[in-house]
Chains A and B, each alone.
Chain A
């Protein structure tokens, strides 16, 4: 079932590759754009759910309940449920779209990997995925893995004359775009002691490093997907009006008079 789904994604990706003049880099970017466009309604729904949850957490009744029943988890849970009903907030509204999107994103990720076939075994697997009535495998293979300066099937490492090590340009771009995206979409903290905001702050540091490490070690085609996904993600949130540009600019602490 899962293999069939990934196979379906591979066929769409290769179809795009074919119509953009067999440019795999462009195909990855357009495929990511297509998937993001298809899942856009889910993203909007997720954002709305998340905003509703944040608004609710600012409600006086919610804050009072947290303080009043901090030692009685069961009672606190009952009060929270009551409040959900009263304010018409669905607690799953923000996470359900994410759960639905997750297999699609993983499928996209796997289809990119499997299409970057560069060994006999990978070619065998790829050719078994291609629908013979839809695409002509013989015309597609070998895929043109060159994009800009990169071989998309290998990690991107550019040797710089005079430097003892090669420079992972794309991995650096992945770190920057992941950081920028996570900063821009992080909502402002509801209070200075908001633990959720503190965790988000840590995530904003660790996640870009994790993505950078993956980009450094894996095929640059995947790094290109990470960059495309980050940039499209920023544009998507900007479109919904949920980008916090102020997060990127260091704020001055108000001075006491």
Chain B
């Protein structure tokens, strides 16, 4: 009977493992997101924030040193007055020493995941959280005020210096007084916004919604100047330069619109999903693609500002995050690939890869 009892407990343990396995990833993961500092690239990937040498891809430090339970980093950190601010999926916002990775303070006021990156106005940190709140935090990690939306805040707020703008999964854009958090105005967008809000070089707000629309909005009044339908959902902030808006979408389309009225200038098919969107350099638009079922390796592509593919380079994995520019290199975050980062030069040569040691 004792033997049967042990067998039964064994079966139940296996069953527990199977059921837990059926839940997919118990702790949700995400693709690597990076921020370019003066000396290093800071990347949020899985259980760590990595500081990577921008010249050769060598790891400088990681935080935390060992993985800690549900602590997953899904938002690119930012540098504010000598502190590196990084939020995790375990509801904690960390201030780190950017030279060593040592923790300066940790704020545990939020009750949701830190999915979007913060911004800073002066030394005030404005951090959006999935618990519906935008937290204004001083350099010592103390909350000064908070603004509550009707649903999660995933995207990095933007500012024109006078107001702070944050759009929400609740389908609204809010303009706030950065000193008090009071709402100056709000506007209904017709769809949730994940990460895609930008302040253009013309001072206009450009926001893409899940409803497959891009909206141009006045930052003074919240008045919508125009709306343009997009082929698929635009996830990341669009790029605006000198009267043209560039974006990439989930269906793999890269396109350019006129900022005057949202009319289409050109469109091309990148192949895989282009949710990371483009980054603009003097050479053109760098875009990463990923194939949802991994049927092809992710590709980095350079597209001219007139809509022609200049080159395409197979990088591997899925290039879902927005690439970042570090000097002469463009750095792509690689998800479900052999590496975490791939740095390419303007001709599509891979200069270095970063693959964290175990």
Contact = CB atoms under 8 A, between A and B. Distances in A.
Interface stretch (B20-28, B239-247, B253-261): B20-28
B30 A113 contact: no
Interface string A114-131: 100011111111011000
B8 interface: yes
Interface-central residue, A122, A206, A218, by most chain B CB under 10 Å: A206
B94 interface: no
B210 interface: yes
B209 interface: yes
A216 to B, nearest CB: 12
Interface of A is mostly: helix
Interface string B56-82: 000000000000000000100000000
Contact of A214 (B19, B31, B233, B320): B19
Given A118-B130, A119-B89, A198-B1, A206 B292 contact: no
Interface of B is mostly: loop
Nearest to A214: B19
Given A121-B29, A202-B8, A207-B12, A141 B210 contact: yes
29 contacts: A110-B22, A110-B24, A113-B24, A119-B113, A120-B30, A120-B31, A120-B194, A120-B235, A121-B29, A121-B30, A124-B250, A124-B275, A124-B292, A127-B233, A127-B250, A138-B212, A138-B233, A141-B169, A141-B192, A141-B210, A142-B152, A198-B4, A206-B12, A210-B12, A210-B15, A210-B16, A214-B19, A217-B26, A218-B23
Contacts of B85: none
Interface in B197-214: 209-212
A44 B309 CA distance: 61
A197 B152 CA distance: 50
B358 interface: no
B42 interface: no
B174 interface: no
B8 A203 contact: yes
Contacts of B211: 138
Interface in A83-136: 106, 109-110, 113-114, 118-125, 127-128
Interface in A16-55: none
B27 to A, nearest CB: 10
Contacts of B1: 195, 198
Contacts of A119: 28, 30, 74, 89, 113, 115
Interface-central residue, B19, B23, B212, by most chain A CB under 10 Å: B23
B31 A121 contact: yes
B138 interface: no
Contact of B9 (A118, A195, A206, A217): A206
Interface residues of B, number: 42
A210 B74 CA distance: 31
A222 interface: yes
Contacts of B250: 124, 127
A113 B22 contact: yes
A138 B4 contact: no
Interface of A: 3, 106, 109-110, 113-114, 118-125, 127-128, 137-138, 141-142, 195, 198-199, 202-203, 206-207, 210, 213-214, 217-218, 222
Given A120-B194, A124-B320, A138-B209, A222 B23 contact: yes
B24 A199 contact: no
A202 B5 contact: yes
A118 B29 contact: no
B15 A128 contact: no
A66 B1 CA distance: 19
A185 to B, nearest CB: 18
Contacts of A128: 292
Contacts of B89: 119
Contacts of B74: 119-120
A250 B275 CA distance: 61
Contact of A122 (B5, B26, B28, B192): B28
A119 B5 CA distance: 41
Contacts of B151: 142
Contacts of A203: 8, 12
Contacts of B9: 206
Contacts of B169: 141-142
Nearest to A117: B28
A197 to B, nearest CB: 12
Contact of B8 (A124, A127, A141, A206): A206
Contacts of B35: none
A230 B89 CA distance: 32
B154 interface: yes
Interface-central residue, B29, B115, B292, by most chain A CB under 10 Å: B292
